[in-house]
A and B are shown apart, each in its own frame.
Chain A
Amino acid sequence: MKATVDSTKCNGYGTCADEAPTVFQLDEWGYAGVIGDGTVTDKDAACRAAEGCPERAITLHD
């Protein structure tokens, strides 16, 4: 499974990096990106991050 962040939607809430710090990281302006190629190492955490994103900016791909 891989994660992607729609950077047109991300508003920098940062909840994804709190929920799944092995998948998402925030840059110096607070915007989220995936770590590496976005491979999901913790599926439950990644799902919580996707569901918890206020902007629905995260997509998980099988």
Chain B
Amino acid sequence: MTLTTTTALDTSLALDTSRALAATAGHAPGIEPRLAVDRPLDLAAERERGTYGLPTCPDVIAELEAAGLRGRGGAGFPAHIKWRGVAEADGLRVVVANGEEGEPSSYKDRWLLTYRPHLVLDGLLLAARTVGADRAVVYLSHPETETAVRAAIAELDSAAPATPAAGVRLDVHVVEPTYVAGDETAVCRSISGGPALPTARPPRVGEKGVDGLPTLVSNVETLAHAAWIARNGAAAYRDHGTAESPGTTLVTLSGACGRPGVYEVPYGLTVAELFEIAGGFTSRPAGFLMGGWFGGLLGPAHAETVCTYEDVRAAGSGLGCGAITALHADQDPLAVAAEVSAWYAAESAQQCGVCVKGTASIRDAFASLDAGTATAKDRDNLARWGQTLPGRGACAFLDGAATWARTVLTEFPEHIGADGTANADDSGN
């Protein structure tokens, strides 16, 4: 089976990665950033900040629970549940820092691994000690992150015998970048020597992951926050954010944006307020790709949507990995949907029949809408697929395509006529 390498960077929606990498991460005014820094930090600089210091809390998992830390890979799953599940498992265990950032419009994990590799390693080693794992793996796919992480591990090794990695086998595992390679079952399958392709659940990786062992797979940003919480406490973590979505988060802002890039922000700001931090909108946004390409397309009124897990979910999308792309004023939502759905069809791992057929059908329907040749049947099909396809694939990839089918129809009804064709006054955009 041949995997399709991600085609995201060839599309009109791509974040300018060279620009993002060159830029330092910004942060919201009025906060003391926890992750954002203006230069890559080496071991000495990290130690000055307390990195690799001992936890100040007696029970790390209880502290993560009190902090309300949620996974930053996209699903937003409570971290303490995952950690506790693996900690309570029997026998050998494995922890994995997942830095395979397959989401096309997200750059924050690459930024974090490049600028704060030690903070991620600190969180990973903390996780290993906490859940009782003797093997820790950094899973990544981009050359700049591999270079930074290997250099950080070499620095740690040179700090022996007082290395924070003592007693833990610490590896780097590099994979080809694809969207599905970041799925946690694909992560474990690849590290175990197989292809980086998802498998059916159950079993969950917390029960049977790398080499069949209980495995904690955690996004790299989640681990960085965990390390911060273990030293600074849950109460301090909650100084920013909201009760339901506490803390700060890294977001990747792109599109019609004055200064695209990675920013550390508290949860609870509106979309417009986030973009204000990043130089403001460069044109009146025609819509927003929320949560990366996975959260579908929201209409321009969502500039006022508050960026918390619960508010963005209530808006019919998801905060996902915190990537938001503002469409330029002259971008046609149907053209964007045609482009993104074509990417979904091309990027499908071609493992699940329903994903092969579903993504291709959504692509074809959006292509017809964009070309002005759609019928009411195309519109009705998209509405149905938006409801019936989520949860059908082995991984969540198909759910993302289905979210586009659902959100474009509900958010941009004025662009689609009653007979399913694109409205005449819209077709020239």
Contacts and interface: CB of A to CB of B under 8 A. Distances in A.
A8 B357 contact: no
B353 A11 contact: yes
Given A27-B354, A33-B354, A8 B199 contact: yes
Contacts, number: 44
Interface stretch (B145-153, B387-395, B409-417): B387-395
B394 A31 contact: no
Nearest to A61: B202
Nearest to B200: A6
A40 B394 CA distance: 20
Contacts of B354: 7, 10, 27, 29, 31, 33
B352 A8 contact: yes
B394 A7 contact: yes
B293 to A, nearest CB: 21
A59 B394 CA distance: 14
Interface residues of A, number: 14
B394 A8 contact: yes
Interface in B343-371: 351-355, 357-358
A7 B352 contact: yes
Interface in B177-223: 197-202
B200 A4 contact: yes
A7 B201 CA distance: 10
Contacts of B351: 7-8
Contacts of A10: 352-354
B129 to A, nearest CB: 33
Contact of B353 (A4, A31, A59, A61): A31
Interface string B312-332: 000000000000000000000
Given A8-B199, A8-B200, A8-B352, A29 B357 contact: yes
Contacts of B198: 8
B392 A7 contact: yes
Contacts of A21: none
A37 to B, nearest CB: 10
Contacts of A33: 354, 392
A12 interface: yes
A27 B200 contact: no
Contacts of B393: 7
Contacts of B199: 8
Most B Cβ at <10 Å: residue of A12, A27, A59: A27
Contacts of A8: 197-200, 351-352, 394
